[in-house]
Structure 1
Amino acid sequence: MSTQPAAESSAAAAAAPPTPAGLKLALGLEGSANKIGVGIVRGDGHILSNPRHTFITPPGQGFLPRETAMHHQEWAVRLVQQALKEGNVTPSQISCIAYTKGPGMGGPLVSCAVVARMLSQLWRVPIIGVNHCVGHIEMGRIVTGAQDPVVLYVSGGNTQVIAYADQRYRIFGETIDIAVGNCLDRFARLLGLPNDPAPGYNIEQLARQGTKLIELPYVVKGMDVSFSGILSYIEGAAKELMTKGEASPADLCFSLQETIFAMLVEITERAMAHVGSNDVLIVGGVGCNLRLQEMMQVMVGERGGRLYATDDRYCIDNGAMIAWPGLLALGQGQTVELAETTCTQRYRTDEVHVIWRG
Structure 2
Amino acid sequence: MPVIEYKCPSCGSGMTFDSTTSMLSCPSCGRKDNIEQLPDPLKQQVFTEDEVREYHCESCGAVIVTEPETSATTCSFCGSAVVLSDRLSGKLAPQQVIPFAISKEEAMAAFKKWCRKGLLTPRGFMTADRIQGITGMYVPFWMYDLLNNIDVRGRGTKVRSYRRGDYQYTETDHYEFYRKIRLNYVRLPIDASAKMDDELMDKLEPFPYDQLKTFKTPYLAGYIAEKYNYTSEQLTPRAREKTMPYIESYISSTVSEYTTVSYADKQIDTTVKRANYVLLPVWMVYYNYKGKQYTFAMNGQTGKVVGKPPLSKGKMAAWFSGVSALSFVGLKILAWLWGGVFL
Q: Which has the higher strand share?
A: 2
Larger radius of gyration: 2
Alignment TM-score > 0.5, same fold = no
Q: Structure 1-normalised TM-score? A: 0.22
Q: Which has the higher helix share?
A: 1
